[in-house]
Structure 1
Amino acid sequence: MIRYKSKIGYAILAFTILVFCTTIGLTIGQGSPINDLPSMSGILILASAFIIYLFLNIEYIIVERKLKIKCGFIYTKALNIDMIKSITKTNSIISAPVASLDRIELLYDDNGKFDSIIISPTDKVNSAKKLM
């Protein structure tokens, strides 16, 4: 079994934190009652903690010619490595189980229907070699 963690893109993390801080700032700037601030801050802190949990728990596991993609407890996908037709570098911002913009796209044949999934392992070169 080989396990790769997802590479963490600090630009994505910084953007997420900026959105949450802007939300709090706009709430204060619009004159919302100060009593609302603790509850709103609590919700945003919980949401931030959940996002950080997901960022830190994205992993790609290769076991017995299968690639298992896990994103916390939210998303799990198993893919037969023999179905992979190509691996290409991509900077696509399409939604994917990754925490970075430094990505690779796996094109695979799922019973005659071509599909793709984007991953971002910390060691892209070695993981790509293991998938070929």
Structure 2
Amino acid sequence: MKTYKSKFGYRMVGFVTLILGLIISTLVFNNEPFGAFLFVGGISIVVYAVVLYLNFSTVYIIDKGILTVKCGIFYLKRFDISKIKSINKTGNIIASPAPSMDRIALTYGEYDVIILSPKNKMDFARELTRINPAIKNKLLD
């Protein structure tokens, strides 16, 4: 069994920080009551905690020909590695179990795709192609 951690999503954390900062700045600029600060601050802490939790809890586990993708308590899915057709670089920003924007796309089944962001993409791809040599590894292109 091999476990690959997801790459940390600095852009996502930066984006959330920017948005929350803008919201709080707007409250300050508009002289909103203290209760509004407490409410928005509480929501901001929860949102920030969830984003950090997803960054630290996303893992990809390869074991006995199965790829298990786990993203906190929100996402758990298993993929048969023998059905993976290709591994590609991607910049797709679609919601996926990939906190980082440094992403790869795995094509499997007929037309299905899952987007991941393993910290060490090359080792991850090598391990998948070791198990299934038919996978087209396009990371080197």
TM-score (norm 1): 0.92
1:78 match: secondary structure: strand
The equivalences for 1:22-33 within 5 A come to 22-33=22-33
Q: How far 1:54 moved relative to its partner?
A: 1.0
- Looking at structure 2, the residues matched to 89 and 114 of structure 1 have their Cα atoms a distance apart, in angstroms, of 17
- Structure 1 runs of 4+ with >3 Å offset: none
The equivalences for 1:40-51 within 5 A come to 40-51=40-51
- Looking at structure 2, the residues matched to 14 and 47 of structure 1 have their Cα atoms a distance apart, in angstroms, of 13
What is the identity percentage for the equivalent residue pairs of Structure 1 and Structure 2?
A: 39
- Looking at structure 2, the residues matched to 101 and 37 of structure 1 have their Cα atoms a distance apart, in angstroms, of 31
- Looking at structure 2, the residues matched to 21 and 12 of structure 1 have their Cα atoms a distance apart, in angstroms, of 14
- Looking at structure 2, the residues matched to 35 and 122 of structure 1 have their Cα atoms a distance apart, in angstroms, of 41
TM-score (norm 2): 0.87
Could you give the per-residue CA deviations for residues 50-89 of structure 1, whole angstroms, max 9, x where no partner exists? 2111111000000110000010000111000000001111
Segments of 5+ residues of structure 1 without an aligned counterpart are: none
Segments of 5+ residues of structure 2 without an aligned counterpart are: 130-141
Q: Give the equivalent residue in structure 2 for 1:116.
A: 113
